[in-house]
Amino acid sequence: MVGSVVSFLAGASAEADTISRDTLSRKMLDFCVFTQYKAEGIERRTMIDRCGCAAKQAMAGFEGDSFDSPSRSKLTGDQEKAIRGAIAGCFAKQ
- pLDDT above 90 covers a percentage of the chain that reads 48
- Judge residue 82's burial from the number of C-beta atoms within 10 Å of its C-beta, 0-12 exposed, 13-18 middle, 19 or more buried: buried
Q: Which amino acid is at 23?
A: T
Whether residue 84 has pLDDT greater than 70: yes
Kindly tell me if the per-residue pLDDT of 16 is higher than 60.
Answer: no
Confidence at residue 72, expressed as pLDDT on a 0 to 100 scale? 67
| pLDDT one-digit tens code per residue, 56-82 | 999 999 888 778 777 666 888 899 999
